[in-house]
Chains A and B, each alone.
Chain A
Amino acid sequence: MDIDLDPIEQLDAPIYHRYHATSSRAITPFLHAMKRGELLGHLSTATGKVLFPPLGACPESGQATHMPVILSDSGTVLGFTTVHLPIPGSKLVPPFTVANILLDGADQACGHLISECEINAVAIGMRVTAVWRAKEIWNNSLENIEYFRPIAEPLVDIDELQKQCLIKANHRKKSAQGDQDA
């Protein structure tokens, strides 16, 4: 044994897993809609809330969801952070801003990037709209949206927004349950 060799204390040896995903019955319409440039959520008839992206089950009630709701590609920033720390394997170059965006008509925020905007101008309650990539490269993914950019509308009071959304959800719940009774 050669004992004069320097020890190698650390060596980068990254591990990656490639998955082939098969879409469920619930998520297939969402993926087809993405390819058409449409944002398809699910209405939970148990809670009246609109889930996006739809995963086929309502996390609050546990019930399966399938009722499609087409959502706007504009929404409101509920939370955000600007990331300055580079992370190995990332295509994104810091600084970049990641936000939780509540699409108009949805009850669940979806994570995406904010751009075309000074970092310091991003705010809770800011109105944003999607900037889509070229139609030719659209795929079955939210990555068809490159990022969201601000729109010239006043800041939204997110506490009031939540209140209004919950009122609407309650109406949808009653109407969905009325349909079931009938």
Chain B
Amino acid sequence: MSNHRVAICGIGQTERYRTKLTCSLAGLVREAALNALADAGCDWSDIDALIIGKAPDMFEGVVMPEAYLAEALGGVNKPVIRVHTAGSVGGSTAIVAANHIKSGLFKRVLTVAFEKQSESNAHWALSPSMPFRPHFNSGAGGMFAPVIREYMRRSGAPEDAGCYVAVKDRVHALNNPHAHLHLPDIDLDTVKNSPMLWEPTRFLESCPSSDGACAMVLAAESHADTSAHKPAWVHAMAMRSEPSFYPWREEVNPEASRACAKDLYAQAGITKPREELDLAEVYVPFSWFEPIWLESLGFAESGQGWRLTLEGATSRDQGGDIPWNCSGGVLSSNPIGASGMIRFAEAALQVRGMANKRQVDGAKRALGHAYGGHSQFFAMWIVGAEKP
């Protein structure tokens, strides 16, 4: 198999990930794509193929939107591929796009991921009625709450550890002009006093419903010099999935998550992620998933992830050694299908030194992470400032 280096030359995001009632799906994705092309110093004609991702179609009620959006994204008479991996799709889409460069098939690919949550109701869309079974309608929050409670039971973490994550990521978001939520007055008490939605998850420990798109121009080494800024380089990428339900399935620290991280770190030659990475952008839609993934991804020992959060290790503002989600993360913006790609793109922006007010000084290597479904789909990449 060919093994060409993959450069991230252009990154584009929509202006701000909040409800946009006066903009169509096509307008939304085109805004992100144009921003990515401008950053890459490219035009539509420079693009060989279009790789699109989004979460399930019920989230907007538009079936196979990739067909309708191809025109708005310059995809006419070009290969167009749609990727489906639920909430992890933004990450998986970037990986599918990168593999099309890595293989040598294309020189330059435009990859776009999006969601326009204001078009429908994601909780409703995530709670379909199944034959022969009672219909609960408890949404994503209801699905993950028992997992969170199980993590709390096993780790013995203080009951407010999740509230620290909720505050930390919203403070980070104040440095990110794209973030949906800008909550300058947030503090622990505000989070603790916010209503319970799906016990033990509170309103302010949950992600918002956002509209937005993220786009990247990926290029082969020979085509990586068009941007006014230096590119980021893909050092490693991995995907894994597992079934939603099987007997005694490990839901807190899923096998697919551990296997994905193991493969990723082996490719990048990483044995101590907390020391060898400068930052991480990790899919944390509910606060407690920060300690859960800190452990699953090897940044902390089993049962100890919450300690890193409480010590401020994951906070950029507190000078933590391994900042997580300097962008404000999924807790501050969740255009679901785009959220994974935003994690991947923010990691790349950091190693390019282009993260402005949310920049981690001297960032050289960063992790981008996404998960979806019943904690069953995983996509991860490591990007670096230097060629791998």
Show the binding face of A for B, using Cβ within 8 Å.
7, 9-10, 15, 19, 21, 27, 30-31, 34, 47, 49-51, 53, 59-60, 78-85, 87-92, 96, 98-100, 107-108, 111-113, 119, 124, 140-143, 145, 162, 165-166, 169
Contact = CB atoms under 8 A, between A and B. Distances in A.
Interface of B: 21-22, 61, 118, 121, 123-124, 127, 131-139, 141-142, 145-147, 149-150, 153, 195-201, 243, 245-248
A78 B153 CA distance: 11
A112 B134 contact: yes
Nearest to A50: B247
Given A84-B195, A165-B248, A111 B150 contact: no
Contacts of B123: 85, 87
A143 B149 contact: no
Contacts of A47: 247
A91 B137 CA distance: 9
A142 B132 contact: yes
Contacts of B61: 15
A83 B142 contact: yes
Contacts of A31: 132
A166 B248 contact: yes
18 contacts: A15-B61, A47-B247, A49-B248, A60-B247, A80-B149, A81-B141, A81-B145, A82-B198, A87-B121, A89-B124, A90-B135, A107-B247, A108-B248, A111-B134, A111-B136, A112-B134, A113-B134, A140-B132
Given A80-B149, A81-B142, A124-B150, A10 B248 contact: no
A93 to B, nearest CB: 11
Nearest to A119: B199
B197 to A, nearest CB: 5
Nearest to B243: A59
Contacts of B127: 87, 90
Contacts, number: 116
Q: Kindly name the residue among B198, B199, B247 whose own CB sees the greatest number of chain A CB atoms within 10 A.
A: B247
A89 B136 CA distance: 11
Which one of A10, A79, A83, A91 has the highest number of Cβ atoms from chain B below 10 Å of its Cβ?
A83
B125 to A, nearest CB: 10
A9 B22 contact: yes
Contact of A143 (B133, B198, B247): B133
A139 to B, nearest CB: 9
A7 B131 CA distance: 40
A81 B132 contact: no
Given A59-B245, A84-B197, A87-B123, 4 more contacts: A30-B132, A49-B248, A79-B147, A89-B137
Q: Which 9 A-B pairs have the closest CB atoms?
A: A79-B146, A81-B145, A107-B247, A90-B137, A59-B246, A9-B21, A87-B137, A49-B247, A82-B199
A80 B146 contact: yes
A30 to B, nearest CB: 8
B247 A81 contact: no
B196 A98 contact: no
Nearest to B133: A142
A141 B195 CA distance: 34
A90 B248 CA distance: 29
B37 to A, nearest CB: 29
Contacts of A140: 132
Nearest to B196: A84
A6 B161 CA distance: 47
A100 B146 contact: yes
A141 B132 contact: yes
A50 B137 CA distance: 27
B198 A53 contact: no
A84 B202 CA distance: 10
Contacts of B145: 81
Contacts of B142: 81, 83, 98
Contacts of B137: 87, 89-90, 92
A67 to B, nearest CB: 15
